[in-house]
Amino acid sequence: MPKVLFHKHGQVFADEVKDNTNLVVRAGIKQFPYPNLRYECGMGKCSKCACRVIAGGEYLPAPNWKEKKQLGERLEQGYRLACQLWISHDIELAQDDEANAAAPAAAAAA
């Protein structure tokens, strides 16, 4: 089972997930990385779920067109859209506290 390390708010959250897991789908059913993962649309349209891949990026598929459209030059800095990733290997991710918080989105902490 893939191990996920998730950095947010200066803390590291860790858990194992099933093979081929989408972290936004999990957060949507209140499982790790809920409530710490910020997301909104789940469809590659809002970029709220953008995370920087610290380790394990070599196992991910190439960014899809939605990631290219939403992330632009941030792709080169290692960012990916969590909602577009199906995790099947260990991965370490960080989500910036304010990176995508331009819009009043109040997605996560409810």
**Would you count residue 92 as binding ligand FES (CB under 6 A)?**
no
**Would you count residue 33 as binding ligand FES (CB under 6 A)?**
no
CA–CA distance, 100 with 2 (Å, rounded to integer): 27
Q: Which two tokens stand for residue 38?
A: 């910020």
Least distance (Å) from ligand FES to the CB of residue 45? 5
**Would you count residue 93 as binding ligand FES (CB under 6 A)?**
no
CA–CA distance, 91 with 100 (Å, rounded to integer): 21
Cβ-based nearer residue to ligand FES, 17 or 107: 107
Tell me, what DSSP letter sits at residue 57?
G
Interface ranges with ligand FES (CB under 6 A) = 24, 39-42, 44-49, 70, 81, 83
